[in-house]
Chains A and B, each alone.
Chain A
Amino acid sequence: MERREFLQKCIMVVVGASVPVSALTFIDPKKVFAANPDIQWAFLVDTNKCVGCGFCVKACKTENDIPFEAHVSRTWVERYVYTKDDKRYVDSPQAALHGFIDSRIDLGRGEFKEIDPKNVGKAFFVPKLCNHCSSPACTQVCPVGATYKTDDGVVLVDRSWCIGCGYCIMACPYGARFFHPVKHVVDKCTFCYHRLSKGLDSACVNACPFKARRMGNIHDPNDPITQIIMNERVGVLKDEFGTKPQAFYIGLAQEVR
Protein backbone atom coordinates (compact mmCIF):
# COMPACT_ATOMS: atom_id res chain seq x y z
CA MET A 1 0.00 0.00 0.00
CA GLU A 2 1.28 3.35 -0.94
CA ARG A 3 1.58 6.12 1.56
CA ARG A 4 -0.96 8.24 -0.40
CA GLU A 5 -3.50 5.36 -0.54
CA PHE A 6 -3.05 4.63 3.18
CA LEU A 7 -3.76 8.22 4.14
CA GLN A 8 -6.86 8.31 1.89
CA LYS A 9 -8.24 5.17 3.55
CA CYS A 10 -7.49 6.55 6.99
CA ILE A 11 -9.51 9.66 6.23
CA MET A 12 -12.40 7.53 4.91
CA VAL A 13 -12.40 5.42 8.08
CA VAL A 14 -12.38 8.52 10.30
CA VAL A 15 -15.19 10.17 8.34
CA GLY A 16 -17.20 6.95 8.26
CA ALA A 17 -16.79 6.37 11.98
CA SER A 18 -17.77 9.92 12.84
CA VAL A 19 -21.20 9.55 11.21
CA PRO A 20 -22.69 7.08 13.70
CA VAL A 21 -21.09 9.04 16.56
CA SER A 22 -22.86 12.22 15.50
CA ALA A 23 -26.07 10.22 14.94
CA LEU A 24 -25.80 8.96 18.53
CA THR A 25 -25.92 12.48 19.91
CA PHE A 26 -29.54 12.68 18.77
CA ILE A 27 -30.45 10.16 21.49
CA ASP A 28 -31.11 12.19 24.59
CA PRO A 29 -30.91 10.00 27.71
CA LYS A 30 -33.52 12.20 29.42
CA LYS A 31 -36.02 11.49 26.65
CA VAL A 32 -35.32 7.76 26.83
CA PHE A 33 -35.94 7.77 30.57
CA ALA A 34 -39.05 9.91 30.14
CA ALA A 35 -40.57 7.16 28.01
CA ASN A 36 -40.05 4.76 30.95
CA PRO A 37 -40.32 7.06 33.94
CA ASP A 38 -38.70 5.68 37.01
CA ILE A 39 -41.08 6.87 39.70
CA GLN A 40 -40.38 6.87 43.43
CA TRP A 41 -43.06 8.73 45.35
CA ALA A 42 -41.95 10.90 48.24
CA PHE A 43 -43.89 13.10 50.62
CA LEU A 44 -42.93 16.56 51.84
CA VAL A 45 -44.44 18.13 54.95
CA ASP A 46 -43.84 21.79 55.73
CA THR A 47 -44.62 22.02 59.44
CA ASN A 48 -44.22 25.80 59.34
CA LYS A 49 -47.32 26.06 57.16
CA CYS A 50 -49.64 23.71 59.06
CA VAL A 51 -52.35 25.40 61.14
CA GLY A 52 -53.97 22.21 62.45
CA CYS A 53 -57.26 22.53 60.55
CA GLY A 54 -57.48 18.77 60.08
CA PHE A 55 -59.01 18.95 56.60
CA CYS A 56 -56.38 16.40 55.51
CA VAL A 57 -57.63 13.86 58.05
CA LYS A 58 -61.25 14.45 57.08
CA ALA A 59 -60.44 14.06 53.37
CA CYS A 60 -58.35 10.93 53.98
CA LYS A 61 -61.05 9.24 56.02
CA THR A 62 -63.71 10.12 53.45
CA GLU A 63 -61.66 9.06 50.44
CA ASN A 64 -60.51 5.77 51.93
CA ASP A 65 -63.67 4.73 53.83
CA ILE A 66 -62.21 4.80 57.34
CA PRO A 67 -65.11 5.22 59.79
CA PHE A 68 -65.14 8.71 61.31
CA GLU A 69 -66.11 7.54 64.78
CA ALA A 70 -63.34 4.90 64.99
CA HIS A 71 -60.21 6.09 66.79
CA VAL A 72 -57.93 5.04 63.96
CA SER A 73 -56.68 7.04 61.02
CA ARG A 74 -54.23 6.73 58.13
CA THR A 75 -52.99 10.24 58.78
CA TRP A 76 -53.14 12.50 61.79
CA VAL A 77 -51.97 15.89 63.02
CA GLU A 78 -50.09 16.39 66.28
CA ARG A 79 -50.03 19.58 68.33
CA TYR A 80 -46.86 20.44 70.25
CA VAL A 81 -47.01 23.07 72.98
CA TYR A 82 -43.91 24.11 74.95
CA THR A 83 -44.52 26.22 78.00
CA LYS A 84 -42.22 28.91 79.33
CA ASP A 85 -41.68 26.88 82.52
CA ASP A 86 -40.21 24.14 80.28
CA LYS A 87 -43.05 21.64 80.07
CA ARG A 88 -43.96 19.95 76.80
CA TYR A 89 -47.39 18.79 75.74
CA VAL A 90 -48.39 16.76 72.70
CA ASP A 91 -51.91 15.79 71.69
CA SER A 92 -53.93 14.73 68.69
CA PRO A 93 -57.61 14.57 69.68
CA GLN A 94 -59.35 12.01 67.44
CA ALA A 95 -56.33 12.22 65.10
CA ALA A 96 -57.32 15.90 64.55
CA LEU A 97 -60.26 14.77 62.43
CA HIS A 98 -62.16 17.88 63.56
CA GLY A 99 -59.05 20.02 63.87
CA PHE A 100 -57.96 21.72 67.08
CA ILE A 101 -61.03 23.63 68.21
CA ASP A 102 -60.12 23.53 71.90
CA SER A 103 -57.23 25.44 73.44
CA ARG A 104 -57.01 22.76 76.16
CA ILE A 105 -54.53 19.90 75.72
CA ASP A 106 -56.11 16.45 75.52
CA LEU A 107 -54.20 14.41 78.09
CA GLY A 108 -56.22 11.25 77.38
CA ARG A 109 -58.52 9.36 79.78
CA GLY A 110 -60.97 12.27 79.45
CA GLU A 111 -58.60 14.74 81.10
CA PHE A 112 -57.87 18.15 79.62
CA LYS A 113 -55.32 20.74 80.62
CA GLU A 114 -55.77 24.46 80.10
CA ILE A 115 -52.49 26.27 79.54
CA ASP A 116 -52.25 29.94 80.44
CA PRO A 117 -51.76 31.81 77.12
CA LYS A 118 -49.05 33.91 78.77
CA ASN A 119 -47.15 30.72 79.60
CA VAL A 120 -47.14 29.35 76.04
CA GLY A 121 -43.60 29.50 74.70
CA LYS A 122 -43.76 27.93 71.29
CA ALA A 123 -46.40 25.79 69.68
CA PHE A 124 -46.80 24.16 66.30
CA PHE A 125 -48.60 21.42 64.40
CA VAL A 126 -47.05 18.38 62.70
CA PRO A 127 -48.98 16.23 60.20
CA LYS A 128 -48.01 12.57 60.23
CA LEU A 129 -48.63 9.61 57.94
CA CYS A 130 -46.95 6.42 56.72
CA ASN A 131 -43.36 7.22 55.74
CA HIS A 132 -43.31 4.61 52.94
CA CYS A 133 -39.78 3.68 54.00
CA SER A 134 -37.19 2.47 51.50
CA SER A 135 -36.29 -0.25 53.96
CA PRO A 136 -39.59 -0.89 55.74
CA ALA A 137 -39.71 -2.90 58.95
CA CYS A 138 -43.38 -3.78 58.46
CA THR A 139 -43.02 -5.72 55.20
CA GLN A 140 -40.31 -7.96 56.64
CA VAL A 141 -42.25 -9.21 59.65
CA CYS A 142 -45.43 -10.26 57.82
CA PRO A 143 -45.75 -14.04 58.21
CA VAL A 144 -47.97 -14.46 55.14
CA GLY A 145 -46.30 -11.96 52.81
CA ALA A 146 -49.40 -9.80 52.52
CA THR A 147 -47.65 -6.45 52.74
CA TYR A 148 -45.10 -5.30 50.21
CA LYS A 149 -43.49 -2.34 48.52
CA THR A 150 -44.48 -1.47 44.96
CA ASP A 151 -41.97 -0.60 42.23
CA ASP A 152 -42.81 3.09 42.62
CA GLY A 153 -42.09 3.07 46.32
CA VAL A 154 -45.49 2.70 48.01
CA VAL A 155 -46.05 0.22 50.84
CA LEU A 156 -49.37 -1.59 50.35
CA VAL A 157 -51.32 -4.38 52.06
CA ASP A 158 -53.08 -7.15 50.15
CA ARG A 159 -56.39 -7.29 52.00
CA SER A 160 -57.20 -10.79 50.74
CA TRP A 161 -53.93 -12.21 52.13
CA CYS A 162 -53.70 -10.33 55.42
CA ILE A 163 -54.68 -12.51 58.36
CA GLY A 164 -54.79 -9.60 60.82
CA CYS A 165 -52.09 -10.92 63.17
CA GLY A 166 -50.83 -7.40 63.89
CA TYR A 167 -47.07 -8.06 63.67
CA CYS A 168 -46.62 -5.17 61.24
CA ILE A 169 -48.58 -2.84 63.53
CA MET A 170 -46.01 -3.59 66.24
CA ALA A 171 -43.05 -3.39 63.85
CA CYS A 172 -43.80 0.06 62.46
CA PRO A 173 -41.75 2.60 64.45
CA TYR A 174 -44.11 5.41 63.41
CA GLY A 175 -47.43 3.92 64.51
CA ALA A 176 -48.73 4.34 60.98
CA ARG A 177 -50.59 1.00 60.82
CA PHE A 178 -53.83 0.02 62.48
CA PHE A 179 -56.52 -2.63 62.44
CA HIS A 180 -59.36 -1.69 60.08
CA PRO A 181 -62.57 -1.87 62.17
CA VAL A 182 -64.76 -2.90 59.20
CA LYS A 183 -62.48 -4.90 56.88
CA HIS A 184 -60.82 -6.71 59.82
CA VAL A 185 -57.39 -6.54 58.21
CA VAL A 186 -54.45 -4.22 58.67
CA ASP A 187 -54.85 -0.82 57.04
CA LYS A 188 -52.44 2.01 56.36
CA CYS A 189 -51.78 5.03 54.20
CA THR A 190 -51.44 4.07 50.52
CA PHE A 191 -50.37 7.56 49.35
CA CYS A 192 -53.86 7.31 47.77
CA TYR A 193 -52.40 4.89 45.22
CA HIS A 194 -55.68 4.82 43.28
CA ARG A 195 -55.52 8.60 42.90
CA LEU A 196 -51.84 8.74 41.97
CA SER A 197 -52.38 6.21 39.19
CA LYS A 198 -55.22 8.39 37.84
CA GLY A 199 -52.95 11.45 37.81
CA LEU A 200 -54.60 13.03 40.84
CA ASP A 201 -53.03 14.29 44.05
CA SER A 202 -53.60 12.21 47.16
CA ALA A 203 -56.68 13.25 49.15
CA CYS A 204 -54.74 14.93 51.96
CA VAL A 205 -52.50 16.89 49.57
CA ASN A 206 -55.62 17.90 47.66
CA ALA A 207 -57.41 19.07 50.80
CA CYS A 208 -54.61 21.13 52.38
CA PRO A 209 -55.35 24.85 51.88
CA PHE A 210 -51.86 25.90 52.99
CA LYS A 211 -49.73 23.53 50.88
CA ALA A 212 -48.22 22.09 54.03
CA ARG A 213 -48.49 18.64 52.43
CA ARG A 214 -46.99 17.96 49.03
CA MET A 215 -45.94 14.96 47.02
CA GLY A 216 -43.49 14.34 44.21
CA ASN A 217 -41.32 11.90 42.29
CA ILE A 218 -37.97 11.83 44.04
CA HIS A 219 -36.31 10.19 41.00
CA ASP A 220 -37.10 13.21 38.83
CA PRO A 221 -34.46 15.88 39.53
CA ASN A 222 -36.69 18.58 38.01
CA ASP A 223 -39.64 17.82 40.28
CA PRO A 224 -40.20 20.84 42.59
CA ILE A 225 -40.46 18.50 45.60
CA THR A 226 -37.17 16.80 44.72
CA GLN A 227 -35.61 20.24 44.33
CA ILE A 228 -36.67 21.17 47.86
CA ILE A 229 -35.49 17.87 49.33
CA MET A 230 -32.14 18.23 47.56
CA ASN A 231 -31.51 21.93 48.21
CA GLU A 232 -33.23 22.82 51.46
CA ARG A 233 -32.86 21.65 55.05
CA VAL A 234 -35.23 18.75 55.52
CA GLY A 235 -35.37 16.00 58.11
CA VAL A 236 -36.93 12.58 58.53
CA LEU A 237 -38.50 10.93 61.55
CA LYS A 238 -36.52 8.35 63.57
CA ASP A 239 -33.57 8.22 61.19
CA GLU A 240 -31.68 6.02 63.67
CA PHE A 241 -34.07 3.12 63.00
CA GLY A 242 -32.52 2.70 59.54
CA THR A 243 -35.86 2.44 57.79
CA LYS A 244 -34.98 5.25 55.32
CA PRO A 245 -38.31 7.12 55.48
CA GLN A 246 -39.58 8.76 52.31
CA ALA A 247 -41.63 11.41 54.10
CA PHE A 248 -39.49 14.51 54.52
CA TYR A 249 -40.20 17.31 56.99
CA ILE A 250 -39.31 20.99 56.90
CA GLY A 251 -39.06 22.56 60.35
CA LEU A 252 -38.64 19.50 62.56
CA ALA A 253 -37.99 19.86 66.29
CA GLN A 254 -36.10 17.20 68.21
CA GLU A 255 -39.21 16.37 70.25
CA VAL A 256 -41.05 15.41 67.05
CA ARG A 257 -40.30 11.75 66.49
Chain B
Amino acid sequence: MYSYHRKSNVMEWKNQPAKYGVSGRERMHEYCSACHGAVVKVRTEKLHGIIPCEDCHGPAMNHPENPEKLTIDRSRELCLRCHTNLPYTTSERHRIPGINPKTHNTGAECVKCHNPHNPSLEGMK
Protein backbone atom coordinates (compact mmCIF):
# COMPACT_ATOMS: atom_id res chain seq x y z
CA MET B 1 0.00 0.00 0.00
CA TYR B 2 1.14 3.49 -0.78
CA SER B 3 2.33 5.53 2.17
CA TYR B 4 5.26 7.57 3.43
CA HIS B 5 7.85 6.66 6.02
CA ARG B 6 9.89 9.00 8.22
CA LYS B 7 12.55 6.67 9.58
CA SER B 8 14.59 9.46 11.16
CA ASN B 9 11.58 10.47 13.25
CA VAL B 10 11.12 7.10 14.95
CA MET B 11 14.01 7.66 17.37
CA GLU B 12 12.69 11.12 18.25
CA TRP B 13 9.47 9.58 19.52
CA LYS B 14 11.30 6.74 21.27
CA ASN B 15 13.51 9.18 23.15
CA GLN B 16 10.65 11.17 24.67
CA PRO B 17 10.91 11.05 28.47
CA ALA B 18 8.35 8.94 30.34
CA LYS B 19 6.57 10.37 33.39
CA TYR B 20 4.62 7.51 34.87
CA GLY B 21 6.81 4.89 36.50
CA VAL B 22 6.99 1.12 36.61
CA SER B 23 4.20 -0.73 34.87
CA GLY B 24 1.92 -3.40 36.24
CA ARG B 25 0.28 -3.58 39.63
CA GLU B 26 2.66 -6.15 41.11
CA ARG B 27 5.81 -4.41 39.98
CA MET B 28 4.46 -1.05 41.12
CA HIS B 29 3.60 -2.37 44.58
CA GLU B 30 7.06 -3.90 44.80
CA TYR B 31 8.69 -0.63 43.78
CA CYS B 32 6.65 1.60 46.09
CA SER B 33 6.89 -0.73 49.09
CA ALA B 34 10.66 -0.31 49.18
CA CYS B 35 10.00 2.90 51.16
CA HIS B 36 6.24 2.95 51.79
CA GLY B 37 5.90 -0.72 52.74
CA ALA B 38 3.34 -0.39 55.50
CA VAL B 39 0.80 1.60 53.52
CA VAL B 40 1.32 -0.50 50.37
CA LYS B 41 0.65 -3.62 52.42
CA VAL B 42 -2.62 -2.17 53.72
CA ARG B 43 -3.84 -1.23 50.28
CA THR B 44 -2.87 -4.46 48.52
CA GLU B 45 -5.06 -6.39 50.92
CA LYS B 46 -8.05 -4.08 50.60
CA LEU B 47 -10.45 -3.15 47.82
CA HIS B 48 -8.47 -0.21 46.51
CA GLY B 49 -5.45 -2.41 45.82
CA ILE B 50 -6.42 -2.55 42.15
CA ILE B 51 -5.91 1.20 41.69
CA PRO B 52 -2.36 2.08 40.58
CA CYS B 53 -0.63 4.34 43.16
CA GLU B 54 0.09 6.96 40.50
CA ASP B 55 -3.59 7.52 39.72
CA CYS B 56 -3.96 9.53 42.93
CA HIS B 57 -0.33 10.30 43.82
CA GLY B 58 0.69 11.56 40.39
CA PRO B 59 3.47 10.48 38.00
CA ALA B 60 6.54 9.14 39.83
CA MET B 61 9.07 8.13 37.18
CA ASN B 62 12.16 9.54 38.90
CA HIS B 63 10.71 9.83 42.39
CA PRO B 64 12.25 10.18 45.01
CA GLU B 65 14.99 12.19 43.23
CA ASN B 66 12.81 14.26 40.92
CA PRO B 67 10.13 15.05 41.98
CA GLU B 68 11.13 14.73 45.63
CA LYS B 69 7.52 14.97 46.77
CA LEU B 70 4.57 13.88 44.71
CA THR B 71 1.49 16.08 44.32
CA ILE B 72 -1.33 14.03 45.78
CA ASP B 73 -4.78 14.65 44.39
CA ARG B 74 -7.04 14.59 47.47
CA SER B 75 -9.95 16.27 45.72
CA ARG B 76 -13.53 15.12 46.08
CA GLU B 77 -13.76 14.94 42.29
CA LEU B 78 -11.07 12.27 42.14
CA CYS B 79 -13.12 9.88 44.32
CA LEU B 80 -16.33 10.79 42.49
CA ARG B 81 -14.86 9.42 39.24
CA CYS B 82 -15.88 5.98 40.47
CA HIS B 83 -18.14 6.68 43.43
CA THR B 84 -20.80 8.90 41.86
CA ASN B 85 -23.96 6.86 41.92
CA LEU B 86 -25.09 6.22 38.34
CA PRO B 87 -28.22 4.07 37.85
CA TYR B 88 -26.59 1.75 35.28
CA THR B 89 -27.45 -1.79 36.34
CA THR B 90 -25.84 -3.30 33.23
CA SER B 91 -22.42 -1.70 33.78
CA GLU B 92 -19.59 -2.78 36.08
CA ARG B 93 -20.06 0.65 37.61
CA HIS B 94 -23.08 -0.75 39.43
CA ARG B 95 -20.85 -2.95 41.58
CA ILE B 96 -18.99 0.05 43.01
CA PRO B 97 -20.66 1.73 46.02
CA GLY B 98 -21.89 5.13 44.91
CA ILE B 99 -23.17 8.31 46.53
CA ASN B 100 -25.11 11.31 45.30
CA PRO B 101 -22.50 14.12 45.28
CA LYS B 102 -25.21 16.75 45.70
CA THR B 103 -26.46 15.37 49.01
CA HIS B 104 -23.54 13.41 50.54
CA ASN B 105 -21.50 15.84 52.74
CA THR B 106 -21.36 18.47 50.02
CA GLY B 107 -18.09 20.38 49.79
CA ALA B 108 -16.13 18.13 52.13
CA GLU B 109 -13.10 16.16 50.99
CA CYS B 110 -13.79 12.43 51.12
CA VAL B 111 -10.45 11.72 52.82
CA LYS B 112 -11.62 13.63 55.90
CA CYS B 113 -13.72 10.62 56.90
CA HIS B 114 -12.67 7.78 54.58
CA ASN B 115 -9.25 6.17 54.48
CA PRO B 116 -8.37 5.93 50.77
CA HIS B 117 -5.92 3.06 51.38
CA ASN B 118 -8.42 1.07 53.42
CA PRO B 119 -11.86 2.11 52.20
CA SER B 120 -13.93 -0.38 54.20
CA LEU B 121 -16.41 1.46 56.38
CA GLU B 122 -15.03 -0.15 59.57
CA GLY B 123 -11.72 1.54 58.83
CA MET B 124 -13.25 5.02 58.88
CA LYS B 125 -11.36 7.78 60.64
Binding site for B on A (CB under 8 A): 48-55, 58-59, 62-63, 81, 98-103, 117, 120, 122-125, 135-136, 139-140, 142, 145-150, 156, 158, 160-161, 190, 192-195, 197-201, 203, 205-207, 209-210
Q: Is the CB of A193 within 8 A of B13?
A: yes
Interface of A is mostly: loop
Residues of A near B52 (CB, < 8 A) are: 206-207, 209
Closest to B13 in A: A193
Q: Is the CB of A148 within 8 A of B90?
A: no
Q: Is the CB of A99 within 8 A of B18?
A: no
Q: Is the CB of A63 within 8 A of B88?
A: no
Q: Is the CB of B20 within 8 A of A59?
A: yes
Q: Is the CB of A158 within 8 A of B3?
A: no
Closest CB of chain A to B47's CB: distance in Å? 10
Give a binary string over B1-35; 1 marks a CB under 8 Å from any A CB, 0 the rest: 11111100110111111111011100000000000
A146–B93 CA distance with the chains assembled, in angstroms: 41
A52–B54 CA distance with the chains assembled, in angstroms: 18
Partner of A140, one of B2, B6, B15: B2
Give a binary string over B57-99; 1 marks a CB under 8 Å from any A CB, 0 the rest: 0110000000000000000010011101111111111001000
Residues of B near A53 (CB, < 8 A) are: 81-82
Closest to A118 in B: B87
Residue B123 at the chain A interface, CB threshold 8 Å: no
Q: Is the CB of A206 within 8 A of B87?
A: no
A120–B77 CA distance with the chains assembled, in angstroms: 24
Residue B55 at the chain A interface, CB threshold 8 Å: yes
Q: Is the CB of A124 within 8 A of B20?
A: no
Q: Is the CB of A63 within 8 A of B18?
A: yes
Residue B42 at the chain A interface, CB threshold 8 Å: no
A63-B19 CB under 8 A given contacts A49-B92, A156-B13: yes
Residue B113 at the chain A interface, CB threshold 8 Å: no
